[in-house]
Amino acid sequence: MDLPFYYSFKDFEENYTKDLNNFIDKYQNAREIDFLKEIKRLCLYWTKVEYGGRVFNNLIWTKEFTYSEYEGFSSDDAEITLDMFAYIVDCNVKHYLPFIGNPFHSFSNIDPFGDDDDDGIIIMHPIEHLFSLIENQRKRPDYFHIPNDYKSIHKKYLLDKIYHLEYFHFLYYEDGTIKADNEKFKDFGFAVFKIMGEIDRRIKLFELQKNNIIPVNGNSNENKKQEIYKEEEQEDISNLTTPEKIALLEYLGVFAKLIKDGVSPENEYKIIHNLIGGSYTNIKKYCLNRKTKNKSSKDYQITEKHKSKIKNFYNSKTF
């Protein structure tokens, strides 16, 4: 699976449990702390070391191509601002897709960067199409042999899907031009460090709990936070994810008992939440999916794989 990346701290918080469960489903021997370290590694990609400290990297790497009459073709690494990147993208769009208009809204019913097969006709999203056209053009044998070509921005700078796709999140279309949303980009920089700070805090708490340094009892706010994290760590200790815990309760007949006793759906969610802890919102989504046989959400599913693991777990008689 591709690791998720979050463009805001809110996305990180709201999708944490779902993405963690997907990660553990994919990597059976992984722990929550491994998931956290993987996410932090992705965050570090957006940073750089400056004056002895780590800061948000607000410059974008590319290559600048030149063709001198005396020296011939050459290419050099370059770092550009988001404004310059927007200008390069705008020049490429106007060269390769001159009649597309707004590339971000065109074919809005198609999933961005994905192909939609309609009666055997593959419809490509404009941005995906742009990258495809650029790549095909660069494969031409005469592409790097015309000096005057490099006066054009669309040939002067590298624009590549692998390196630059993520930066399209910070562009927008206005008055016939693609522009940079510098405020959104700057706020994303704050989000990167806020996410890394939260990851470091969780990792540190896990380590303290492992060494029994954090006290469990007490009335201070800090102790209450520590108790919450102590409860969350139980998922890692028991090797059961949230959907697996719900599958276990179903196997034990808890849901059948609640239905028999006439417990309302909302109270059912509260009871399950009190039994297994974690995010109430996520537990509610899992419970709804359980009732609808995974039709209410494609993300919060309790699969046959979860149920099979619980059956083996229960029948092993060793907990």
Say which range, 63-72, 129-138, 230-239, 275-284, has the weakest mean pLDDT: 230-239
Report whether pLDDT(292) > 50: yes
Q: What is the mean pLDDT of residues 109-129?
A: 56
- Per DSSP bridges, beta strands 115-118 and 121-124 are antiparallel
pTM for this structure?
A: 0.60
> What are the structure tokens assigned to 232, written together?
């969350």
Rounded distance between C-alpha atoms, residue 91 and residue 84, angstroms: 11
Residue whose C-alpha is closest to residue 178's, from 109, 94, 61: 94
Mean pLDDT of 48-59: 90
- Alpha-carbon distance of 187 to 95, in angstroms, equals 31
Asked if pLDDT for residue 227 goes beyond 50, the answer is no
Residue boundaries of the structural domains of the chain: 1-60+181-238, 81-180, 240-319
How far apart are the C-alpha atoms of 271 and 259, rounded to whole Å?
Answer: 12
> Is residue 113 predicted with pLDDT exceeding 70?
no
| Mean pLDDT for the stretch of residues 216-231 | 44
Phi, psi of 221 (to 5 degrees): -60, -35
- Checking if the pLDDT of 228 tops 80, the result is no
Report d(CA 32, CA 100) in Å as an integer. Answer: 45
Most confident of 99-103, 136-140, 214-218, 248-252: 248-252
Residue 125's nearest CA partner among 145, 146, 100, 144 is 100
Supply 301's token pair.
Answer: 């599913």
Greater confidence (240 vs 316) lies with 240
Q: How far apart are CA 25 and CA 306, in angstroms?
A: 9
The tens digit of pLDDT for each residue in 2-51 reads 788 889 999 999 999 999 999 999 998 999 999 999 999 999 999 998 88
**pLDDT confidence tier of residue 283, bands split at 50, 70 and 90:** confident
According to the model, what pLDDT value does residue 111 have? 45
By C-alpha distance, which of 159, 177, 180, 158 is closest to 169? 180
Q: Is 203 helix (H, G, I), strand (E, B) or coil?
A: helix
Other beta carbons less than 10 A from residue 143's beta carbon: 13
Q: Which residue has the higher pLDDT, 313 or 23?
A: 23
What are 78's two structure tokens?
Answer: 């370059």
For residues 112-122, average pLDDT: 45
Q: What is the pLDDT of residue 224?
A: 42
Answer yes or no: are the C-beta atoms of 87 and 152 closer than 8 Å: no
pLDDT in tens, 140-198: 766 655 555 556 787 788 999 989 999 999 999 998 899 999 999 999 999 999 999 99
**DSSP state at residue 50:** E
d(CA 159, CA 92): 9
Phi first, then psi: give them for residue 124, nearest 5 degrees. -105, 140
- Identify the bridge partners of residue 172 per DSSP, sorted by sequence position: 179
pLDDT category of residue 206 using cuts at 50, 70 and 90: confident
